[in-house]
């Protein structure tokens, strides 16, 4: 989030929300006990869609940067069309590239950075 231009105070607030999440269970209509997940928030949490969009934007920026550096090459549907190296839809991601060893390594590197950041 810092690399996307968010101030450190906002990032600290979000990280506090992510690291302090807990869930209660409704039993016969009344909340009982709680569980603290060890891996932060999950799909279904009200904050999840917003954080997912921020993470997806980070992935998108890394993919665009790799294409600008000429380490990843997307596909074109015609000679005059722009190159496409990824498509994001809901929680799905499709990655398009030529089938070379260099491109495969670059996709792996990007996904490893994305994994460690998320």
CA distances from 116 to 54, 55, 89 (A): 15, 11, 22
Q: Could you tell me the residue ranges of all domains in the chain?
A: 1-42, 44-118
Question: What b/e string do you get for 73-83 counting C-beta neighbours within 10 Å, with b at 16 or more?
Answer: bbeeeeeeeee
Taking only the tens of pLDDT, the chain with its 118 residues reads 787 788 999 888 888 777 766 777 888 888 887 777 666 666 667 777 787 888 888 889 999 999 999 999 888 889 899 888 898 887 788 999 888 899 999 999 999 998 887 7
**pLDDT at site 99:** 84
CA 21 from centre of chain: 19
SS3 107: helix
**pLDDT at site 4:** 78
**pLDDT at site 105:** 93
Residue 40 CB contacts under 8 Å (≥ 6 apart), including other chains: 18, 19, 21
**pLDDT at site 68:** 92
């Amino acid at each position: 989030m810092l690399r996307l231009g968010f101030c450190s105070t906002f990032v600290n607030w979000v990280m506090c929300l992510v690291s302090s999440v807990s869930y209660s269970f409704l039993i016969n209509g009344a909340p009982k006990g709680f569980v603290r997940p060890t891996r932060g928030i999950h799909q279904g949490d009200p904050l999840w869609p917003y954080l997912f969009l921020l993470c997806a934007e980070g992935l998108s920026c890394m993919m665009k940067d790799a294409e600008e550096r000429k380490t990843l090459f997307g596909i074109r549907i015609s000679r005059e069309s722009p190159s496409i190296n990824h498509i994001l839809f809901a929680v799905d991601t499709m990655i398009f590239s030529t089938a070379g060893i260099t491109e495969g390594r670059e996709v792996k590197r990007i996904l490893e950075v994305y994994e460690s950041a998320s």
